[in-house]
A and B are shown apart, each in its own frame.
Chain A
Amino acid sequence: QVQLQESGPGLVKPSETLSLTCTVSGGSINSYYWSWIRQPPGKGPEWIGFIYYSGSTNYNPSLKSRVTISVDTSKNQFSLKLRSVTAADTAVYYCARSPTEVDPVPEYYFDYWGQGTLVTVSS
């Protein structure tokens, strides 16, 4: 059974960089797309971006200037960096997987998710 687990600091200061890692177990990171999604308190989820195992990325236009997603296939992990954070970036952050039907085109849904990790931006 594929499992995803988010890890990283639960508290980040304003203007600093939020860094999270998602560790994939029970399956390979190869041949899939890997997303970061966040959900601010009381609001709906927001897709941040995804990375293919080969390293190609696609980001939400509203966050693109501040986001970097990277992958480490040797560790079966992928990571998120969000720069210059403010209180508006406080949210539960999830990692999720999208399969591919025809490599390298993604399927546009998430078949596995992590449980999420709360990140609070505060001084």
Chain B
Amino acid sequence: QSALTQPASVSGSPGQSITISCTGTSSDISDYKYVSWYQHHPGKAPKLMIYDVSNRPLGVSNRFSGSKSGNTASLSISGLQAEDEADYYCTSYTSSSPFVFGGGTKLTVL
């Protein structure tokens, strides 16, 4: 079982907005600013979408945003597009290890 909890799946129609949650504990998300999010199309290299909770790397669309409250981090995607359909993973720094991952969320664009 992964250390961080994500919903197994979320879906939305083109143009809509969705949010993916990532729930941890007091040993990870709530105590540190080091939450990151990755987009993974099967067979390709995962892509960094958000780092340090809410920062977007150069080249990532501003339709993607990140936030956290307490022990839950969130990835929001606005103006859903077909190309957003992918698996999404969160990670966090923890008191016992630099990185723990979430189990992943499959985003379906209807």
Report which A residues bind B (CB closer than 8 A): 4, 35, 37, 43-47, 50, 58, 60-61, 94, 96, 106-116
Q: Are A43 and B2 in contact (CB under 8 A)?
A: yes
Question: What 8 pairs between A and B have smallest CB-CB spacing?
Answer: A44-B103, A108-B34, A109-B36, A47-B99, A44-B2, A109-B51, A113-B45, A45-B101
- Residues of B with C-beta under 8 A to A37: 101
Residue of A nearest to B104 (CB): A44
Q: When chains A and B are docked, how far (Å) is the Cα of A96 from the Cα of B40? A: 14
Please name all residues of chain A whose beta carbon is closer than 8 Å to the beta carbon of B100 when the two chains form the complex. Answer: 47
Inter-subunit contact A115/B45 (CB<8 Å): yes
Instruction: Provide the bound-state CA to CA distance between A47 and B92, in Å.
Output: 11
Interface size class of B (residues with CB under 8 A): 20 to 34
Tell me the minimal C-beta distance from B66 to chain A in angstroms: 11
Q: Which residues of B contact A45 (CB under 8 A)?
A: 89, 101, 104
Q: Closest CB of chain A to B34's CB: distance in Å?
A: 4
Chain B contacts to A: CB under 8 angstroms? 2, 6, 32, 34, 36, 38, 43-48, 51-52, 57, 89, 91, 93, 96-104
Q: How far is the CA of A114 from the CA of B43 in the complex (A)?
A: 10
B103–chain A nearest beta-carbon distance, Å: 4
Instruction: Indicate whether A46 sits within 8 Å of B101 (C-beta atoms), given known contacts A61-B96, A108-B36, A110-B36.
Output: yes
- Give me 14 A-to-B residue pairs in the complex whose CB atoms sit less than 8 angstroms apart, sorted by A's number: A44-B89, A44-B101, A44-B103, A44-B104, A47-B91, A50-B98, A58-B98, A96-B46, A108-B32, A108-B98, A108-B99, A111-B57, A113-B45, A115-B45
Instruction: Find chain A residues with CB under 8 A from B57 CB.
Output: 111
Which residue in chain B gives the minimum CB-CB distance to A99? B51
Contacts of B6 in A (CB 8 A): 44
In the complex the two chains form, is B38's CB within 8 Å of A110's CB?
A: yes
**A44, A47, A106: which contacts B97 (Cβ < 8 A)?**
A47
**What's the nearest-Cβ distance from chain B to residue A42, in Å?**
10
Q: Which residue of A lies closest to B45 (CB)?
A: A113
Q: Check if A47 sits within 8 Å of B48, measured CB to CB.
A: no
